[in-house]
């Protein structure tokens, strides 16, 4: 059944296969990157903040330096600025936000590839279907014998598989992108919270 597909439809299948490989590759890359960056290590940040807010800046700085996490690096920048200019909290806040921007930029790296897959896969699938339908009806028009509905239905069914494949790939890429974006958003909100806590203290608690 698939042997009768035109060469252009096979090219669409190859392109869809490449998009699926790209999706898996980006997903593995991002998961590995998040782990290496220390995404989601909130307990370490809480311990650093506890030391900082309770008058143990040296211990807080030591823990922040030893920790390999996004929040620890942001807190390290904030504490360095606050210790360098105790009378200017905006300096520490600015350093922390610069560090946060660097981390968030790294987290968002390669995410546009998944967005591109979500948009491209259905369009490629539809293109393959249109090409397959044109080929099926073209063969029917060129046939000298009586039209066989079964052959026409077979050609249409085969052509529609590219649309189904494209939609399936797009859905998988969409859910992967949504999950990764959710983790980035969670980390962004936590970064905002720890910066505010380091500069101004927690609710009901001030810096010692």
Block mean pLDDT (10 aa), the chain, length 208: 64 93 97 94 92 92 93 95 92 95 95 95 91 76 62 71 93 97 96 92 61
> Does any domain span residue 207?
no
> Does any domain span residue 48?
yes
59 three-state secondary structure: helix
204 three-state secondary structure: coil
- pTM of the predicted model, to two decimals? 0.83
> Does any domain span residue 117?
yes
The whole-number pLDDT of residue 134 equals 80
> Does any domain span residue 205?
no
Domain span holding position 140: 2-200
> Does any domain span residue 206?
no
Q: How far apart are CA 44 and CA 99, in angstroms?
A: 17
> Does any domain span residue 208?
no
The whole-number pLDDT of residue 100 equals 96
The whole-number pLDDT of residue 56 equals 92
The whole-number pLDDT of residue 123 equals 94
Q: How many domains does the chain fold into?
A: 1
Q: How far apart are CA 162 and CA 132, in angstroms?
A: 9
Q: How far apart are CA 52 and CA 181, in angstroms?
A: 30
The whole-number pLDDT of residue 184 equals 96
The whole-number pLDDT of residue 47 equals 94
Contact 136/103 with Cβ under 8 angstroms?
no
> Does any domain span residue 37?
yes
Q: How far apart are CA 4 and CA 175, in angstroms?
A: 34
Alpha carbon 142 to its chain's center = 48
The whole-number pLDDT of residue 176 equals 97
Closest CA to 195 of 100, 88, 61: 100
> Does any domain span residue 118?
yes
The whole-number pLDDT of residue 160 equals 85
């Amino acid at each position: 059944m698939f042997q009768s597909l035109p060469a252009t439809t096979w090219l669409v299948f190859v392109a869809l296969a490449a998009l699926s490989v790209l999706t898996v590759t980006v997903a593995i890359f991002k998961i590995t990157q998040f782990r290496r960056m220390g995404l989601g290590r909130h307990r370490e940040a809480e311990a650093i903040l506890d030391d900082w807010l309770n008058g143990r800046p040296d211990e807080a700085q030591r823990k922040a330096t030893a920790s390999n996490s996004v929040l620890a690096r942001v807190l390290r920048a904030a504490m360095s600025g606050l210790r360098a200019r105790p009378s200017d909290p905006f300096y520490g806040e600015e350093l922390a936000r610069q560090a946060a921007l660097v981390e968030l930029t790294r987290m968002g790296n390669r995410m546009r590839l998944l967005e591109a897959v979500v948009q491209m896969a259905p369009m490629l699938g539809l293109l393959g279907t249109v090409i397959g339908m044109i080929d099926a009806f073209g063969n029917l028009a060129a046939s000298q014998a009586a039209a066989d509905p079964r052959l026409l239905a077979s050609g249409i069914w085969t052509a529609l598989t590219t649309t189904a494949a494209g939609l399936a790939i797009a859905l998988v890429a969409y859910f992967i992108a949504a999950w990764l974006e959710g983790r980035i958003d969670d980390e962004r909100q936590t970064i905002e919270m720890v910066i505010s806590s380091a500069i101004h203290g927690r609710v009901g608690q001030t810096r010692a």
